[in-house]
């Protein structure tokens, strides 16, 4: 008999102490488990400033940040900053300094395993500026790659020289063209999958090293780096994928014009008007977006998905006309997927995970939407097959109607689901909401469709994400005859296929911040781009604005 058993039997005082020690241990375990399972998710409300340089002081406001002792961490891209290394940390405010050599990245707050939705923190030196007659250095040269093969989304380092100290408009392209073809055609004939800033493919850019993610639609072939008017030597790279493949064919080059006019101002002194004109985002199926003309001269180029124009000290006689002309390449995209190899459970990257969450346009957490999504997929786990079921449900159950620019976007989706009548906007949002409710990343696309007469029509479609393959397009509205009437016996293929007559002006909801404190932001209903605002005013009480649908000047 050991000493513990002896004293436990003989001494009531010892038994009393053991009881309280045991009770304390149980209470501590229960408290610890409650802290883990019931902790509230942190939420970022604002980041000031959102455009920063190295060693700038940044203030994050929000809720449920906890305190320094709560295992709290700040994530900025691939960096981890503990709460103890921040200037200050409270439940509602975090203050920290940006690290050295900071580059644009997603920022989120993690408290006891709970992670906030990310927001963008932009490096000031990455903002594009208007420059005239810029001279470029010698042609870039690739000396080696960190790996010779990989899948879509794989991190890859490119080593060499002459890449430039900052990316600006330089690009990394994965092309299936041979070295001989590249030598004969040069940059003008270069085709392939480009890395996308909106998809966070660019991780690092310096004169001797580029770090990227293998972009959507990349194929086995060659990697080239393009800087200014110079192209690097091609270096072979193999894209391996058991899930499927994505093919880009039938390249089309469009020249487009966007116009907007403003008049009839009623305003006070020292007023200003900011106008954000959407520009087509670069993605796997549309690239080489090039601004040809902007009148008047822009205040900022390609800032938060638009070209910014600023007007000051307007009066009742002021009349403003904005004209933008640009070229863009588009492709038909065809996906071929082997659903058996699609993983049902996989940990998504933070920049993709955000597309499974509800937002201001997509109420995927609504109980009716969650219920309908569950009824459609019936407990199935394969995300590709479930997305197809959602697509088929919409085609079979929804009656199409013409696009309306007056319907309230905040209530139209639930009404469309109940009445089973929807326009292309509601159909795209419906697909995304049902997919996100099933934990499938999905994003609405806003833009235009070009008919055979080269006339533009505002249109909405969507994409969903399969890890290892990338974004897959869907356009159920087109199968229902929107925006063109289509004979039902000749329904176009719209799941996993998209033709080059679709031109996107936004993918998802572009995060935007006010240009001036207290400015009034104006949003457009069901316009050709999904944005938090198109116009922002200060000390202007009334005015008239007209936005035309982007027009096609030519196709070649």
Q: What is the DSSP string of 236-277?
A: EEEE--SSEEEEEEEEEEEEEEEEEEEEEEEEEEEEEEEEEE
pLDDT digits (tens, 9 = 90+) for 388-423: 999 999 999 999 999 876 666 555 788 899 999 999
Identify whether 14 is part of a domain.
no
Q: Name beta bridge partners: 400.
A: 422
Statement to judge: residues 110 and 78 lie in one domain: yes
Spatial separation of the C-alpha atoms in residues 271 and 480, rounded to whole Å: 46
Residue predicted with more confidence, 491 or 143: 143
Statement to judge: residues 383 and 475 lie in one domain: yes
What's residue 13's pLDDT?
72
Residue predicted with more confidence, 357 or 136: 357
Identify whether 133 is part of a domain.
no
Which is nearest to 241 in space by CA: 264, 274, 214, 279? 214
Residue predicted with more confidence, 1 or 287: 287
Q: Is the pTM of this model over 0.75?
A: no
Identify whether 37 is part of a domain.
no
pLDDT digits (tens, 9 = 90+) for 142-179: 999 999 999 888 899 999 999 988 887 788 999 887 76
* Residue ending a domain, choose from 198, 218, 240: 240
pLDDT digits (tens, 9 = 90+) for 197-220: 777 889 899 999 999 999 988 888
Identify whether 19 is part of a domain.
no
Whether 250 and 530 have beta carbons less than 8 Å apart is answered as no
What is the CATH classification number for the domain harbouring 198? 2.60.40.10
Highest mean pLDDT among 25-29, 115-119, 325-329: 325-329
What's residue 392's pLDDT?
95
Statement to judge: residues 396 and 484 lie in one domain: yes
3-state secondary structure of 231: strand
Spatial separation of the C-alpha atoms in residues 45 and 213, rounded to whole Å: 29
Identify whether 262 is part of a domain.
yes
Query: For the ranges 95-104, 289-298, 466-475, which has the lowest average pLDDT?
Result: 95-104
pLDDT digits (tens, 9 = 90+) for 31-47: 555 554 456 788 888 78
Half-sphere exposure of 116 (CA within 13 A, CB side): 26
Spatial separation of the C-alpha atoms in residues 472 and 332, rounded to whole Å: 12
What is the CATH classification number for the domain harbouring 474? 3.10.620.30
What's residue 4's pLDDT?
66
Identify whether 382 is part of a domain.
yes
* Residue ending a domain, choose from 240, 260, 287: 240
Which is nearest to 391 in space by CA: 450, 488, 472, 330? 472
- 210: burial class by Cβ within 10 Å (0-12, 13-18, 19+)? buried
Average model confidence (pLDDT) across the chain: 85
Q: What is the arithmetic mean of pLDDT over 339-358?
A: 84
What's residue 137's pLDDT?
53
What's residue 485's pLDDT?
58
Q: Is the torsion defined by CA of 155, 150, 218, 550 positive or negative?
A: negative
Statement to judge: residues 352 and 491 lie in one domain: yes
pLDDT digits (tens, 9 = 90+) for 492-546: 578 999 999 999 999 887 777 777 777 898 888 889 999 888 999 999 999 999 9
Which is nearest to 210 in space by CA: 144, 256, 264? 144
Q: What is the arithmetic mean of pLDDT over 357-377?
A: 93
Identify whether 202 is part of a domain.
yes
Q: Give ∠ CA 171-175-177 in degrees, rounded to 5.
A: 135
Neighbours of 540 (CB within 10 A): 20
Phi, psi of 257 (to 5 degrees): -130, 130
Looking at the 3D structure of the chain, how many domains does it have?
4
**Residue range of the domain that includes 290:** 249-331+508-555
What's residue 315's pLDDT?
95
Statement to judge: residues 361 and 499 lie in one domain: yes
Which is nearest to 470 in space by CA: 365, 349, 369? 349
What does the H/E/C string look like for 380-415?
Answer: CCCHHHHHHHHHHHHHHHCEECCCCCCCCHHHHHHH
Identify whether 271 is part of a domain.
yes
Which is nearest to 428 in space by CA: 415, 442, 448? 442
What's residue 525's pLDDT?
82
Percent of the chain with pLDDT over 90: 44
Statement to judge: residues 503 and 520 lie in one domain: no
* Residue ending a domain, choose from 126, 152, 184: 126
- For residue 221, what are the CA distances in angstroms to 149, 191, 293, 367? 10, 11, 34, 47
Statement to judge: residues 483 and 495 lie in one domain: yes
Statement to judge: residues 177 and 204 lie in one domain: yes
Statement to judge: residues 293 and 398 lie in one domain: no
Statement to judge: residues 230 and 377 lie in one domain: no
Sheet holding 202-205, edge to edge: 141-145, 155-161, 209-213, 202-205
Half-sphere exposure of 76 (CA within 13 A, CB side): 21
Whether 246 and 176 have beta carbons less than 8 Å apart is answered as no
Q: Name beta bridge partners: 17.
A: none
Query: For the ranges 123-137, 219-233, 524-538, which has the lowest average pLDDT?
Result: 123-137
Q: What is the arithmetic mean of pLDDT over 313-335?
A: 94
């Amino acid at each position: 008999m050991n000493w513990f058993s002896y004293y436990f039997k003989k001494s009531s005082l010892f038994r009393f102490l053991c009881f309280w020690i045991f009770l304390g241990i149980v209470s501590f375990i229960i408290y610890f488990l409650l802290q883990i399972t019931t902790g509230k998710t942190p939420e970022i409300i604002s980041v000031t400033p959102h455009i920063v340089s190295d060693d700038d002081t940044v203030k994050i406001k929000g809720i449920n940040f906890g305190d320094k002792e709560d295992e709290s961490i700040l994530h900025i891209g691939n960096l981890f900053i503990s709460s103890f290394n921040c200037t200050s940390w409270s439940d509602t405010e975090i203050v920290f300094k940006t690290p050295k050599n900071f580059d644009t990245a997603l920022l989120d707050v993690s408290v006891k395993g709970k992670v906030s939705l990310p927001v963008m923190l932009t490096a000031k030196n990455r903002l594009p500026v208007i420059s005239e007659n810029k001279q470029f250095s010698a042609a870039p040269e690739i000396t080696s790659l960190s790996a010779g093969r990989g899948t879509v989304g794989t991190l890859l380092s490119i080593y060499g020289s002459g890449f430039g100290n900052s990316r600006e408009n330089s690009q990394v392209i994965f092309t299936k063209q041979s070295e001989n073809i590249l030598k004969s055609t040069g940059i003008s004939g270069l085709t392939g999958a480009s890395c996308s800033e909106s998809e966070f493919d660019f991780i690092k850019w310096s004169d001797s090293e580029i770090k990227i993610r293998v972009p959507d639609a990349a194929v086995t072939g060659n990697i080239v780096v393009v800087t200014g008017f110079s192209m690097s030597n091609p270096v072979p790279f193999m894209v391996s994928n058991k899930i499927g493949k994505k093919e880009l064919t039938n390249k089309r080059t469009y020249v487009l014009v966007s116009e907007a006019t403003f008049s009839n101002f009623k305003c006070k002194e020292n007023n200003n008007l900011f106008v954000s004109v959407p520009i087509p985002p670069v993605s796997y199926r549309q690239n080489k977006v090039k601004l040809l003309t902007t009148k008047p001269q822009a205040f900022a180029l390609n800032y938060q998905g638009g070209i910014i124009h600023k007007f000051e000290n307007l009066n009742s006689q002021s009349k403003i006309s904005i004209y933008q002309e640009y070229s863009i390449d588009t492709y038909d995209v065809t996906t071929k997927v082997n659903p058996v190899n699609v993983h049902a459970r996989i940990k998504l990257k933070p920049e993709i995970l955000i597309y499974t969450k509800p937002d201001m346009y997509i109420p995927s957490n609504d109980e009716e939407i969650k219920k309908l999504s569950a009824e459609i997929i019936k407990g199935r786990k394969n995300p590709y097959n479930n997305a197809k079921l959602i697509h088929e449900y919409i085609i079979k159950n929804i009656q199409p109607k013409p696009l309306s620019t007056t319907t309230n976007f905040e209530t139209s989706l639930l009404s469309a689901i109940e009445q089973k009548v929807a326009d292309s906007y509601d159909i795209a949002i419906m697909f995304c909401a049902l997919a996100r409710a099933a934990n499938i990343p999905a994003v609405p696309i806003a833009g235009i469709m070009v008919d055979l007469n080269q006339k533009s029509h505002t249109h909405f479609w969507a994409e969903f994400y399969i890890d290892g393959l990338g974004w897959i397009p869907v356009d159920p509205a087109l199968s229902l005859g929107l925006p063109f009437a289509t004979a039902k016996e000749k329904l176009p293929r719209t799941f996993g296929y998209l033709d080059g007559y679709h031109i996107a002006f936004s993918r998802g909801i572009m995060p935007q911040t006010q240009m001036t404190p207290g400015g009034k932001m104006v949003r457009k209903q069901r316009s050709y781009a999904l944005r938090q605002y198109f116009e922002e005013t200060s000390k202007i009480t009334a005015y008239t604005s007209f936005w035309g649908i982007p027009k096609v000047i030519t196709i070649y």
